[in-house]
Amino acid sequence: MTHGFLRWCVASLLSLAAMAAWAQDLQPLPALTARVIDTTATLSLDQAAALERKLAAIEESRVPQLVILIVGSTLPEDIVSYAQRVGDAWKLGRREVGDGVLIVVAKNDHAVRIAVAKSLEGAIPDLAATHIINDRVTPAFKAGDFAGGLNAAVDRLAERIGTEACPNPRHAAAARRRLVSTCRTWPFFCLSERRSWALC
């Protein structure tokens, strides 16, 4: 029994060491400095500025906050885990409501992730996010038109958000207390759909 306990202790320590080493290898998160953050210089300055203005106009007229993040790779994490870390760090949208949308593009991984706030899941359910990525983003990205794909995705997201009444912060706070047991990470956010594309 003593030998078994010692083996268990050794295995546990090795597991913790491996987890610590893996955590140290994670990609660092960029700071939230704009609505369009392109760490790969994929977008031209004019393209990024145009997207920035479009996102600002959506935020001003419809309230929800949309942010685009383009990175080279999320490895060793998959894009789902990486987007979760970004969401935990950035906390997009109004605190009382959680009305933000995050588009993550991992260019070298050929992966896209749309993270949708819990309060916007009615306007942008998983199926809608799938269609936006498959129908708007992927064809443009395959053609090398990253700005076009992102603009098309933002336009469609804005259309869908426009059909949803913005939640009252007081009502949302009460709903958040009821939902806390089902959405514990990334405060007030749950994650939506992601798809990959293969370049020709």
State pLDDT tens for residues 143-153.
Answer: 999 999 999 99
Residue 131 lies in a domain: yes
CA distances from 150 to 19, 59, 90, 177, 188 (A): 35, 16, 20, 34, 25
**Interhelix angle for 45-62 vs 146-162, to 10°?**
0
Q: What is the pTM of this model?
A: 0.74
CATH number at residue 51: 3.10.310.50
Q: Is the pLDDT of residue 135 over 50?
A: yes
Q: How confident is the model at residue 117, as a pLDDT?
A: 76
The answer to whether residue 4 sits within a structural domain is no
pLDDT digits (tens, 9 = 90+) for 105-132: 999 999 999 998 787 888 899 899 989 9
Quick check: is 90 in a domain? yes
Confidence at 20, pLDDT banded by 50, 70, 90? very low
pLDDT, greater one: 117 or 67: 67
**pLDDT at position 142 over 60:** yes
68-98 per-position pLDDT tens digit:
999 999 999 999 999 989 988 998 887 767 7
d(CA 162, CA 61): 9
Structure tokens at 78: 């998959």
The answer to whether the CB of 40 falls within 8 A of the CB of 71 is yes
3-state helix, strand, coil in the chain (%, to 5): 50, 15, 35
Q: Does residue 173 belong to any structural domain of this protein? A: yes
Does 71 reside within a domain? yes
Buried-state track 52-90, b at ≥16 Cβ within 10 A, e below 16 = bebbeebbeeeebbbbbbbbeebeebebeebbbbbbeeb
Q: By residue range, what is the domain housing residue 99?
A: 29-193
Q: Which residue do the tokens 């109004």 mark?
A: 94
The per-residue pLDDT for 177 is 37
Find the length of the chain.
200
Question: What integer pLDDT is reported at residue 154 of this predicted model?
Answer: 97
